[in-house]
Structure 1
Amino acid sequence: MSTIVNVKKVSEQEDLDKVFAVRRVVFVDEQNCPPELEWEFEDESTHFLAEINGQPAGASRWRKTDKGYKLERFAVLKENRGQGVGQALVKAVLNDLPEDAQYIYLHAQVQATPLYKKFGFKEIGPMFEEAGIQHHKMVFEPVK
């Protein structure tokens, strides 16, 4: 039986609470990220919730920065990994960006770089540490 992942853009508090709960489990509880680093720029971000059978499975967001459009906080609950949730989130976020979005980038945890490469992101610069985890900056270069 195939898993159907539903991703929706959310702004209602009830949905945002689900987004924040997913991120708390993945980043704070599982990956030991400092909570004070996890909860920033929430009001200026556009949030997404991924669900499987109506249950929260993943979350992500994008926001406009002084450099361009930054994709952030991609989180998939451990029990839902390998079911296409991450891919569905990346697709939804990229499809939601304004048409005039020129510079699109993210800071990918090293183990997640293969996912982003599938969508046309390229690693640039050296690896760096963010919240105690190794990351690569990646820039979107769509296939023409």
Structure 2
Amino acid sequence: MASEIRAIRSDSPLYAGALRLRYEVFVLEQAVPEEIEVDEHDAEAQHFVIQDGAEVVATMRLVPYGDALKVGRVAVRKDLRGRGLGRRMIEEAARVAEAQGARALVLSSQVVAVPFYRKLGFVEEGPVFDEAGIPHTRMVKRLGPGGEEGQEKQ
């Protein structure tokens, strides 16, 4: 089954596998225009992959975003969804963000994925908007002192 999460850069041979998976999920499954799937942030992003043998079966990227990190391009191979790979990726994002001193994780969630991110401590901020023809909403998970991780529930 799937291996540990590996941090890679855009010059890694595994990056091609991450792009193949993103193409399958976003362009083929969700009809995101191919010309916007890879963008100017890919070169600067921290990329993460989970492999099954030599194949990349889950991926995400983290991009600096003010005092936060922006999670993006979270993709899991269709037949492996629901097995915790996406959760593992988001938990890794939080670990990396805290280690780098980020105060929050932010992301643009597809509306259908909002319950998934809520379970992982994200909250919606702002209205629903269209991104690549798909309804999205901004979500934030506060980290560290003063953030959700260290606050008592009121």
What's the TM-score once normalised by structure 2's chain length? 0.84
Structure 2 counterparts to residues 1-144 of structure 1, below 5 A: 4-11=2-9, 12-40=11-39, 41-66=41-66, 68-97=68-97, 98-141=99-142, 142-144=148-150
| Number of positions where the alignment pairs a residue of Structure 1 with one of Structure 2 | 142
Q: Is the 8 Å Cα contact of residues 71 and 105 (structure 2) preserved in structure 1?
A: yes
Q: Unaligned regions of 5+ residues in structure 2, if any?
A: 143-147
Q: How many Å separate the matches in 1 of 2:73 and 2:23? A: 11
Q: How many Å separate the matches in 2 of 1:18 and 1:4? A: 14
Q: Unaligned regions of 5+ residues in structure 1, if any?
A: none
Instruction: Specify the code of the residue in structure 2 equivalent to 1:70.
Output: K
Secondary structure at the aligned position of 2:106 is classed as: strand
- Structure with the higher fraction of residues in strand conformation: 1
Q: Give the CA deviation at 1:104.
A: 2.2
Instruction: Specify the code of the residue in structure 2 equivalent to 1:55.
Output: E
Q: Give the CA deviation at 1:46.
A: 0.3
Q: Is the 8 Å Cα contact of residues 67 and 102 (structure 2) preserved in structure 1?
A: no
Higher relative CO (CA 8 A, sep ≥ 6), structure 1 or 2?
A: 1
Percent identity between the two aligned chains = 30
Q: Give the CA deviation at 1:67.
A: 6.5
Runs of 4 or more above 3 Å deviation = 52-55
Structure 1 residues 38-88: Cα deviation after superposition (integer angstroms, max 9, x where no partner) = 111111100011223553211100011346321111011111111111101
RMSD, matched Cα: 1.7
